[in-house]
């Protein structure tokens, strides 16, 4: 039987052996128990006994999911695939298909012992469901019930968190862990998938620069993993952290996420810069496939625990650090008041090891294409600038004869009176042209050699190539602060729309 995340399967006890059994109040709690166990791949919940079983693997021997009348419901928790819609039923050789996104009606499938129950809103699909189930040759269930609910709950579940803009270098938001909550300023990073904060036991020099540190002994809901799983990660700027994984309640804007795994850092390198000292940790918002700890990212936990409607995270980044409110991160959808026009959507191109990577049809400095033949780009909220290929950035620098370039990796400096003469940068994404003017990608800063104020384009060379051989760029906060950006984990796509500037 093929594994699919996010929907209910059946499995005979003779071929699926649980590694753990517990009594819980409902199937949601059973699923949460599974998320807290790194080896757990699926769960079963017995309605009559309230028994929750956790499974490390799923037998391929049960081809027919609905054939055995004494089977139990199984929910597949985790594979490398993105979750299916919670209200869609997969079309396989042994399950009929109901495409509820087309019919726009919510349908829940519940299998209890010998019975299949559909709970639907409205009557439109009643005959459709009965015809499909009764016609299905392999379904030997004794009874089928359809329950009708005439009222549809239209409440949209989304969570908004304010962000602080620190000198256009990074944007931070508050995240709290434990009971009572201990709060931290974290960078919400689409370029990684792990959540970490510094521990009270961290003694490295970099840890002394963090403003807040986590004390597990003061949280009544904290749990240690039995094998004390270690964690380490190195980022693109060569900074690194290491520690061990724990489990606790995480709060975002007061909303509690139960049994979230996170890393407590006991050693850190590269975070002793005064810039980084403003930040207490990183919350990764990428796919699980790039998680160093194999923990389920926070965005998925929000969705699995029904705290948000969709596994979508969206960013509005205010480019003016003088404003008190530096931006907003929205979990569960988009916030239309921060963008204008329609969003354009492009699918991610990295399908094997999923990342927020898309195709760029072109990058133009004026009329000069900086990536002939197309490029790939990571859309990364954890990167301050725009990182580009050596060839592309060199072409740009040749357009600006007054640009002083002290080193091969430097962005270069120019007299601020000349900054407005730099060409526009246009990124061709999904057939649309998304443009940054020179005032949007050039920043004033202090020249470290003589302390004079100079202007610098936020472009840095990197030596990176995508798996398909195309040059790899990184569009960081310089780009995202002018284009509202929405990351859809279920549909594996990114949406862009022109940001609205709000002066506050």
Report yes or no: 238 and 216 within 8 Å, Cβ to Cβ.
no
Three-state secondary structure string covering 215-231: CHHHCCCCEECCCCCEE
Nearest-CA neighbor of 330 among 311, 343, 358, 346?
311
Nearest-CA neighbor of 403 among 384, 386, 376, 423?
423
**Distance separating alpha carbons of residues 167 and 444, to the nearest angstrom:** 11
DSSP states along 125-139:
THHHHHHHHHH-TT-
Q: What is the DSSP letter of 297?
A: P
Q: b/e string for 357-379 if b means 16 or more Cβ within 10 A? A: bbbbbbbbbeeebbbeeebbbbb
**Distance separating alpha carbons of residues 167 and 171, to the nearest angstrom:** 9
Nearest-CA neighbor of 79 among 97, 57, 60?
57
What strands, in cross-sheet order, belong to the sheet with 72-76?
A: 8-11, 72-76, 42-46, 51-55, 20-23
**Distance separating alpha carbons of residues 401 and 76, to the nearest angstrom:** 59
Catalytic residue, chosen from 189, 194, 280, 488, is 189
Can 248 be counted among the known catalytic residues?
no
Q: How far is CA 57 from CA 31, 42, 46, in A?
A: 15, 7, 18
Can 380 be counted among the known catalytic residues?
yes
Question: Within a 10 A sphere around the Cβ of 453, how many other Cβ atoms?
Answer: 10
**CA–CA–CA angle 94, 96, 101 (5° rounding):** 140
Report yes or no: 220 and 312 within 8 Å, Cβ to Cβ.
no
Q: What's the longest Cα–Cα distance across the chain?
A: 83
* 14, burial (CB in 10 Å: exposed 0-12, middle 13-18, buried 19+): exposed
Report yes or no: 223 and 246 within 8 Å, Cβ to Cβ.
yes
What strands, in cross-sheet order, belong to the sheet with 115-121?
A: 107-112, 115-121, 143-149
Q: Which residues pair with 426 in a beta bridge?
A: 364, 435
* Cα torsion angle, 423, 428, 431, 434, sign: negative
Catalytic residue, chosen from 78, 380, 477, 488, is 380
**Distance separating alpha carbons of residues 487 and 348, to the nearest angstrom:** 10
**Distance separating alpha carbons of residues 34 and 36, to the nearest angstrom:** 5
Q: Which residues are catalytic?
A: 189, 380
């Amino acid at each position: 039987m093929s594994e699919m995340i996010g929907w209910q399967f059946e499995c005979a006890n003779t071929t699926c052996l649980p590694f753990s059994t517990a009594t819980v109040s409902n199937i949601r709690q059973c699923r949460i128990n599974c998320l807290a166990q790194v080896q757990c791949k699926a769960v079963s919940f017995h309605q009559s006994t309230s028994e929750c079983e956790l499974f490390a693997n799923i037998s391929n021997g049960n081809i027919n999911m609905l054939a055995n009348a004494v089977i139990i419901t199984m929910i597949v928790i985790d594979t490398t695939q993105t979750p299916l819609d919670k209200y869609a039923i997969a079309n396989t050789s042994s399950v009929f298909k109901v495409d509820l996104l087309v019919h726009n009606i919510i349908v829940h499938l519940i299998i209890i012992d010998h019975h299949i129950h559909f709970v639907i809103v409205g009557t439109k699909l009643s005959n459709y469901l009965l015809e499909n189930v009764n016609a299905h040759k392999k379904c030997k269930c004794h009874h089928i019930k359809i329950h009708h609910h005439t009222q549809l709950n239209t409440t949209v579940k989304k969570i908004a968190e304010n962000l602080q803009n620190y000198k256009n270098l990074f944007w931070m938001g508050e995240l709290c862990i434990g009971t009572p909550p201990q709060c931290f300023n974290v960078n919400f990073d689409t370029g990684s998938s792990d959540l970490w904060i510094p521990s009270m036991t961290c003694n490295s020099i970099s840890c002394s620069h963090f403003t807040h540190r986590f004390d597990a002994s003061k949280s009544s809901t904290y749990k240690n993993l039995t094998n004390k799983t270690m964690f380490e990660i190195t980022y693109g700027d060569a900074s690194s952290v290491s520690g061990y994984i724990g489990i606790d309640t995480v709060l975002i804007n007061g909303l509690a996420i139960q049994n979230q795994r996170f890393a407590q850092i006991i050693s850190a390198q590269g975070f002793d810069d005064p810039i980084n000292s403003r930040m207490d940790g990183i919350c990764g918002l990428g796919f699980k496939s790039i998680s160093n700890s194999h923990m389920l990212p926070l965005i998925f936990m929000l969705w699995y625990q029904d705290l948000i409607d969709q596994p979508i995270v969206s960013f509005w980044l205010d480019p003016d650090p003088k404003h008190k409110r530096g931006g907003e991160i929205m979990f569960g959808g988009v916030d239309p008041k921060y963008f204008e026009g329609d969003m354009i959507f492009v699918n991610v191109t990295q399908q094997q090891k999923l990342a927020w990577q898309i195709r760029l049809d072109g990058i133009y400095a004026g009329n000069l294409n900086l990536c002939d033949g197309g490029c790939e780009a990571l859309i990364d909220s954890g990167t301050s600038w725009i990182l580009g290929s050596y060839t592309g950035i060199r072409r740009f620098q040749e357009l600006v004869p007054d640009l002083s370039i002290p080193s091969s990796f430097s962005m270069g400096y120019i007299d601020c009176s000349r900054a407005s003469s730099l060409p526009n940068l246009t990124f061709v994404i999904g057939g649309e042209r998304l443009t940054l003017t020179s005032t949007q990608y050039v920043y004033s800063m202090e020249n470290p050699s003589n302390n004079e104020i100079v202007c610098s384009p936020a472009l840095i060379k990197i030596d990176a190539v995508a798996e398909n051989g195309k040059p790899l760029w990184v569009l960081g906060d310089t780009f995202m602060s002018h284009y509202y950006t929405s990351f859809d984990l279920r549909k594996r796509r990114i949406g862009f729309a022109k940001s609205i500037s709000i002066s506050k």
